[in-house]
Chains A and B, each alone.
Chain A
């Protein structure tokens, strides 16, 4: 790519920036990146480090700290992206991560990214951080958006008022990054020393309490940093600050004996002043900020005030159009995914299964592989892996970018807003609407997405119920079964419509199970009060299409695909082995099928289906090829299929013939659809659930509960079926 004259000019500070990506072990300075959610913090992070962290228009995106590094002039910098927070006064996990790093990590500079168009709110965080450290640089981001909204800022005045460098940027357009680097450099190297500031305007007894405690702390350690902030936290009974003082993390000069009376005094103030103290401090912060904003910001009232946002919100949250628009958009994403992935899927399967597979088999013969080795490696491991890639990659590469576009535009939080009432009724959180929708793409990704729910109880509900969203891997099974066994029940011209409706019915059944199970869990295992629900509806922002496609493919698609491959390869080996290792006169697979057949029949399925679901646990995508292979084995017809342990797929018509020949009925088809919805999550999802919950108990419950539902539902349907036929 050729560079413009500006980009290579010496006056452009960004020319001396060397993005180093992942953090290198050695660095000269540590820089923390703080800010409210939705300020473009991650965009700044990416611009400086060259990493491609996903930037979501959504609070709670950066849940753990991300780290990267860059070189500027002669120094190496480590950059730490802290979780987006509104304040540092609460005890939520995000705020503690951010606050602890600024306090205990002692970064050389803390860059606070603020939204130039929403200064009042965002400066309140700046003021709080200044109370902890004076080494602050304010990055006045989203300048382009602010000026579109008619907001004019006196940057110099603001910088004077705050006593720290204030750098206007438009990170999405890479404007102001050079100046930001320069400011970071000057503060880090000590060329510029920002003012030490403290919150003004705390009144009466609250102020006296803070200053008294501060003096007593300074008496035992004259160099204790952030002393007035520490005093404020002690009055709020912040346990982690108390512990840090007692254990000596904050100061090695302070002993347990010295600090004890101060803690007692702070506790007394806490009881005496109570919540008035919190009101007083917050009021003072916002009061101070409002004064600053009044003197430095001019707003053209006619232009401003979310005119576009209001218009869009009027439509997408309206009583009449809110739900239809939602169904249209989310349904549209699914439809595009299903239709759109047909072509690339068949191209991939042509390449990997029709071209490469025979080539590998031929190669194995040339190299004189024994039959079992070529069978194990190529028919087993390779075929299963190739199958998973061919069927899984295209829908994910379509679904994730589309979903991320809706997310980046700002629409998804509105879905949570529209649906919260329903989730509240089930004892769950409105944001579960999002993780549920994400589950239609991939349950593992849906489980990861539950990180946006801050309450542990409601997060667990969202994790356990995610499997009831019919994921991409299960759609093909549903569509196939519906067209073979449901479509045929009606006249030809109606077949397409009816089988589509059958699949939609399964999806709706899944959603009902989500609500039912959420309700059940919140009444039993996960009893508890609904947590305090707050949801920011972020401003609408035009999504950056190309970048979104890039990052969502890297972030979501490839990671999930990789995990699936890791699980699919050994499963391929197992499928081949059970089909080829004989015990007595029968293969292990046949023994298993015979053993499970009675149970299968009892719930309107058969032994083949159950065995397929056991061995195809890594990916729902290989259930149908495994069912076909096992069915061909059971039928013992040598003209069918490719041989023992070799998965295959043929045209829908041929599949129908094979299945009918094996004794499948409409009941089997319908029950397979139900069981495909209601069975354990795939191994990738189970693994992800374990990683997210860190609990064997919840992982087990999340894995087994759907199977229990599946067995009950299939059994009941079977009983009903025989009652009426």
Chain B
């Protein structure tokens, strides 16, 4: 599943960054804590539905939909 499909109110665990991503973008994701095993949930959605702000490691980071597409997740029960 992709981060862009994560619904509000659900918690997810990051599985990894999609392989097709550029090396630079991949590293930026890692710097921001988008590492395998990290917990993530939707904090808020912008009035125009994009971008979406995610809470990860107690920090709120917003991503555009096409960028959130590159983050692979699983739903955490």
Contact = CB atoms under 8 A, between A and B. Distances in A.
A421 B49 contact: yes
B64 A424 contact: yes
Given A117-B58, A534-B62, A286 B47 contact: no
Contacts of A422: 48
A87 to B, nearest CB: 4
B63 interface: yes
A157 interface: no
Contact of B31 (A86, A283, A535, A538): A86
A138 to B, nearest CB: 17
Interface residues of B, number: 37
B1 to A, nearest CB: 19
Interface stretch (A46-54, A98-106, A311-319, A686-694): A311-319
A434 B75 CA distance: 35
A430 B45 contact: no
B55 to A, nearest CB: 7
With most chain A CB atoms within 10 A of its CB, the pick from B17, B23, B31, B33 is: B31
B50 interface: yes
B30 A278 contact: yes
B26 A275 contact: yes
Contacts of B49: 421
A286 B33 contact: yes
A276 B37 CA distance: 15
B58 A283 contact: no
B5 to A, nearest CB: 18
A118 to B, nearest CB: 4
A341 interface: no
Contacts of A657: none
Nearest to A125: B31
Contacts, number: 125
Contacts of A278: 23, 26-27, 30
B36 A283 contact: yes
Interface string A523-535: 0000000101111
B27 A421 contact: no
A120 B51 contact: no
B46 interface: yes
Interface in A81-122: 86-87, 89-92, 117-118, 120-121
A530 B37 CA distance: 28
Contacts of A92: 28
Contacts of B26: 275, 278
Contact of A89 (B17, B30, B50, B61): B30
Contact of B45 (A121, A317, A424, A537): A317
Nearest to A538: B60
B61 A532 contact: no
With most chain A CB atoms within 10 A of its CB, the pick from B45, B47, B61 is: B47
B37 A282 contact: no
Contacts of A536: 59-62
Interface of A: 86-87, 89-92, 117-118, 120-121, 124, 275, 278-279, 282-283, 286-287, 305-306, 309-310, 313-314, 317-319, 322-323, 417-418, 420-422, 424, 430, 530, 532-538
